[in-house]
Structures are given as C-alpha cells and as structure tokens.
Amino acid sequence: MCRFLMRQIIVGGFCLMILSTIPFLGSFHSSPSMAAENGTFTFPTPNNFWRNQETDLEGILEFPDNVTGKVPAMVIMHGSAGMGYRGESWAKFLREMGIATFRIDYYGPRGLSQGGPRGPKTPYDIFGGLAYLATNPDIDKDRIGVMGFSRGGTLTLLALDYYTEDTGGVRPKAFIAVYGGCQNVSFVAGLPEDAAVLMLIGEHDTFIPAADCRMRAAEGQEDGKDVKTVVYPGGHHGFDDDNSRTVNWGGETMVMKVNEEITKQAREEVQSLLKRVFKM
C-alpha cells in the first residue's frame, strides 16, 4: 500500500477497469488533510490494448486548500513527454478553483519515460482512475471530469468512444482535450446529456489539424450535445508548456511554441466550463 501525505497523495497501482466488481483494500478518512491508507487494484489490460499486459498504474491525488466536505475532481492525463510541467501547472490552477486533481502516470509503471507514435493509448487507464476516485469519500463522484494534453487529450476523447460502466459509477461531467487528436474519434454518440466536451487547439498546430476538431464540434452541436472547439490564432502545439522546441515525431517535424496569452485564455475557457458543469 501507499501512504497518503497531507495534501499530496501518490496512489500506487490503481488498476485498469474491465471487470464488474472492484475489490478494495485500505481505508480513508473524512478529511483530505489527514493521513490515510490507499489500496492496490489489479486488473489485466484488454487484449486489444497495450501489449496484453496486466498493468498497475500510479496517480498523484492532491486536494485544494481550505475546503470542507466533498470536492469535485479532475483526472489529468499527461502527453507523450510523460509527467511534468503541463500537468503540474494545470493541476495547481484547478486546485486554486477548489477542485482536487488526480494526475495519472501511464508511462512510468510500464517502464517508459517518453512515448513515441506507438506508445500506450488506452482509455482504460482513465476508467481505472475514475474507479479509484469513486472509492474516496472526500471526492464528489457526481462532479468528476477528465482532461489531457496532446496524447492525453486524445485519450480523453477516446474515453467517450470506449466508455465502460466499470468506473465505480462515475460518469464524467467534463472532457477537456488540450491539443488532443480529434481525427480518429467519434465520441458524440457516447457523450452523456449532462456532460460537456471542450477542445482547445492552436491555429498553427502542425500535428493536430484544427479543422478536425472544428468538425467534431459541429457534429456534436448538430446532435444537440455540449461540444465546443476553440482555435487560438497564432497558436502552436504545446502553447501551455514551459519551453518552446522543435521535435521529430514519427518522421515529421512538430513545432512546440509557448504562448502565455493563449494559455491564459485557455484557462479561462476551462474555468468557465467547470464552474458551469460542476455548479461551482
């Protein structure tokens, strides 16, 4: 078992959820500021996902300061660079809103530091995180959302395509993809009536075509769903990161360029959405 530390909780080995029951080990206390024990969850990865491996993942759960009662929470999925600045900075921003954050590391436990085009891309990692949060008495399971960046944003949208009931009864209220892949997802049909999708992307993103995200939003709106795409003029992939760079990705050149003004605007969009769907 892992031990919860005052405000930062490293949850070792929550698992991928594909069975109908969840054996839970450990106990929790009513206040997020109290030390507590966490249990370990182990389920196999489905055959059509990451190398037929049975995988225990890790997540970092952090609560906002000076709150009482149950709090909303966001699952945060990192991009291909792994855990780092983007997840940490967004988590801090969300906690300042009064939202708990659960940052999932889906690379480290699989022996990866970074992922390439063939890296893990399984939404079942998200379902395991949701099921874990459902066991925590300090989390309001009716106010949980998912967000991710780049590959993590793609996973966020794929979670709607592959949604399973094995999430501890959690139906996320928000799906936020920050320059996540919109090309190969058809999530509109799986979006619950009381949930929303927000896609944020830079106009000059050479890896994720903005036109695809616009098309997905139009499809959702035609179907009466709460789906929105915001395309930022002058924006590139990684606009919310802490360093600009050019990388080779699968033989293609990708420009990642930090833009503080776009990051500020993106956070305003996220704040507006979460205040609405979480009724804050």
55: how many CB neighbours lie within 10 A of its CB?
22
* Helix boundaries (H) for the chain: 85-96, 124-134, 151-161, 210-222, 260-277
Please give the Cα distance from 215 to 202 (Å, whole number).
15
DSSP state for residue 113 in the 8-state scheme: S
Is the full-model pTM beyond 0.85? no
Please give the Cα distance from 265 to 242 (Å, whole number).
16
CA distances 157 to 2, 122, 199, 279, Å, are 30, 11, 9, 22
Q: Contact 129/139 with Cβ under 8 angstroms? A: no
What is the domain extent for residue 176? 66-97+115-277
> Which helix (H) or strand (E) covers residue 15, if one does?
strand 8-15
- 103 in a structural domain: no
CA distances 212 to 2, 187, 188, Å, are 41, 13, 14
Q: Contact 257/238 with Cβ under 8 angstroms? A: yes
- The pLDDT, as a whole number, for residue 26 is 31
Q: What are phi and psi of 36, to 5 degrees?
A: -150, 165
- 40 in a structural domain: no
- The pLDDT, as a whole number, for residue 165 is 66
Grouping H, G, I as helix, E, B as strand and the rest as coil, residue 216 is helix
- The pLDDT, as a whole number, for residue 56 is 76
Number of domains in the chain: 1
Which tokens in the block code for residue 41?
């969850």
- 20 in a structural domain: no
Smallest CA-to-CA distance from 229 within 279, 187, 259 is with 187
Report the sign of the C-alpha dihedral through residues 182, 83, 36, 68, in that order: negative
Q: What is the CATH number of the domain that holds 152?
A: 3.40.50.1820
- The pLDDT, as a whole number, for residue 23 is 34
Q: How far is CA 170 from the centre of its chain?
A: 14
Smallest CA-to-CA distance from 219 within 136, 263, 160, 167 is with 160
Q: Is 43 exposed, middle or buried (0-12, 13-18, 19+ CB in 10 A)?
A: buried
- 27 in a structural domain: no
- 193 in a structural domain: yes
- 263 in a structural domain: yes
- 35 in a structural domain: no
- The pLDDT, as a whole number, for residue 150 is 92
- The pLDDT, as a whole number, for residue 255 is 86
**pLDDT tens-place values along the chain, 280 residues long:** 333 333 344 444 444 433 333 333 333 333 333 333 333 434 334 334 555 566 777 889 999 988 888 999 999 999 888 788 899 999 999 999 999 999 998 877 787 766 665 666 678 888 888 888 898 899 999 999 999 999 999 999 988 877 766 687 889 999 999 999 887 677 666 788 889 999 999 999 988 889 999 998 998 888 889 999 999 999 999 999 998 988 876 677 788 899 999 999 999 999 999 999 999 9
Q: Contact 193/159 with Cβ under 8 angstroms? A: no
- The pLDDT, as a whole number, for residue 66 is 83
Which tokens in the block code for residue 275?
């205040």
- 13 in a structural domain: no
- The pLDDT, as a whole number, for residue 29 is 33
Q: How far is CA 222 from the centre of its chain?
A: 26
Residue type, 44: P
